[in-house]
Amino acid sequence: MTTLNSIAGQLDGQAIELPSWAFGNSGTRFKVFATPGTPRTIQEKLADAAQVHGVTGLAPKVALHIPWDKVDDYSALREFAGDLGVALGTINSNTFQDDAYKFGSLTHADAAIRQQAIDHHFECIDIMHATGSQDLKIWLADGTNYPGQGDMRGRQDRLADSLEQIYARLGSEQRLVLEYKFFEPAFYHTDVPDWGTSYAQVAALGDKAMVCLDTGHHAPGTNIEFIVMQLLRLGKLGSFDFNSRFYADDDLIVGAADPFQLFRIMVEVVRGGGYGPANQDGSSPVAFMLDQCHNVEDKIPGQIRSVLNVQEMTARALLVDRAALDAAQTAGDVLGANGILMDAFYTDVRGDLAAWREGRGLPADPLAAYAASGYQAQIAADRVGGTQSSWGA
């Protein structure tokens, strides 16, 4: 049996990017609950994200959503983040909140609106140069609600053309990741509904275009780890948006709804070479990001819980005795092979990870350390007045 000691080194350097929007108020279409201390600016969101990194050592980057996190000077924002001990990460474009995009953005039949959406992505690439970000993440709300409403083929062709123009603007170190989602906000057809469509679109672009897999964007019962395996096999898994779901795109804390699924995903990530330091040819490994909203729980502890969940399942995945598993699989030992996987899954790594943290100057219990820090009371007292930032604001 592999012990945590033998894989501890592989946990060093694990980085899970936090979404800036997880720190703002969010809710459902019924109610957005205000929480005392909610950031009013992107600078305050960065300060909160730095708290998560400070107690876990796992979250050195923060993803921005444009225009939610729009500022005048991105180089200054980069410096501000650096002073807090974090860096700016993925830039997320947003073509889902303007009236102009009611019938689509990069797929729109009207050339002027399509150009507006392309120009927005050019602006995002300019921002990436200033922030030092590697990835431009594109998620499109494009789709239709009724059969016959749009020409699905024409929309796919226009999407390919739009992406080609955006791709051509990328710097040599920059990547484009295309996120898929099977439904919502469109309910009849979505223009990038599945990994196959995303793969087909990015494969036509080139090496710097990859697929983004959001764990909440699949139909119930989908074998997500199979998709992870296939995309890694094809060299096209660029990034994860981690979260968990019970029903639709719930955006709950990763690993909360189905820890076993997170484990199975991480097993395939490790198996497929998607985990670890940058590849020797300089290409990046898979980027791990959270895409969550905290509707009723405190946001900073919610993010701390999330990155710890990812670390725990990564550790358990690294504990899988690969040689024994290969042998059992080859021998057709069905229950033996399954037992080897389950042994790793059922290993409680929490005590060992607390020791791992202490060995690196981090608190053994990050949630307790955050609670004891007084930060939550401080921001609740300080951040009065102004407009609390919320999802989409």
Residues forming contacts to ligand PSV in the complex (CB under 6 A) are 21, 92, 139, 179, 181, 214, 241, 249, 291
Residue (65 or 357) nearer to ligand PSV, CB: 65
Under rule CB under 5 A, residue 249 binds Mn ion: yes
199 binds, among ligand PSV, Mn ion, none (CB under 5 to 8 A by kind): none
Dihedral sign for Cα atoms in the order 59, 171, 230, 220: positive
Contact range with Mn ion by CB under 5 A, out of 239-247, 277-285, 318-326, 368-376: 239-247
352 binds, among ligand PSV, Mn ion, none (CB under 5 to 8 A by kind): none
Q: Nearest approach, Cβ of 365 to ligand PSV (angstroms)?
A: 29
Contact range with Mn ion by CB under 5 A, out of 6-14, 33-41, 212-220, 365-373: 212-220
CA distance 98 to 119: 14
CA distance 358 to 393: 38
CA distance 17 to 125: 19
Q: Nearest approach, Cβ of 319 to ligand PSV (angstroms)?
A: 30
Q: Nearest approach, Cβ of 212 to Mn ion (angstroms)?
A: 7
Six token digits for residue 242: 């981690």
- DSSP reduced 3-state for 61: strand
Q: Nearest approach, Cβ of 94 to ligand PSV (angstroms)?
A: 7
Specify the DSSP element, H or E, that contains 291: none
Specify the DSSP element, H or E, that contains 385: none
92 binds, among Mn ion, ligand PSV, none (CB under 5 to 8 A by kind): ligand PSV
The CA distances from residue 373 to 47, 52, 367, 369, 370, in Å, are 14, 12, 10, 6, 5
CA distance 308 to 356: 12
Q: Nearest approach, Cβ of 1 to ligand PSV (angstroms)?
A: 38
21 binds, among ligand PSV, Mn ion, none (CB under 5 to 8 A by kind): ligand PSV
Q: Nearest approach, Cβ of 68 to ligand PSV (angstroms)?
A: 9
169 to 208: interface string for Mn ion, x by CB under 5 A: ----------------------------------------
180 binds, among Mn ion, ligand PSV, none (CB under 5 to 8 A by kind): none
CB atoms within 10 A of CB 197: 17
* The one among 142, 191, 214, 312 contacting Mn ion by CB under 5 A: 214
Specify the DSSP element, H or E, that contains 93: none
The CA distances from residue 127 to 19, 113, 123, 231, 354, in Å, are 17, 21, 6, 28, 38
Six token digits for residue 279: 């590849």
Residue (92 or 244) nearer to ligand PSV, CB: 92
What are the residues binding Mn ion (CB under 5 A)? 214, 241, 249, 291
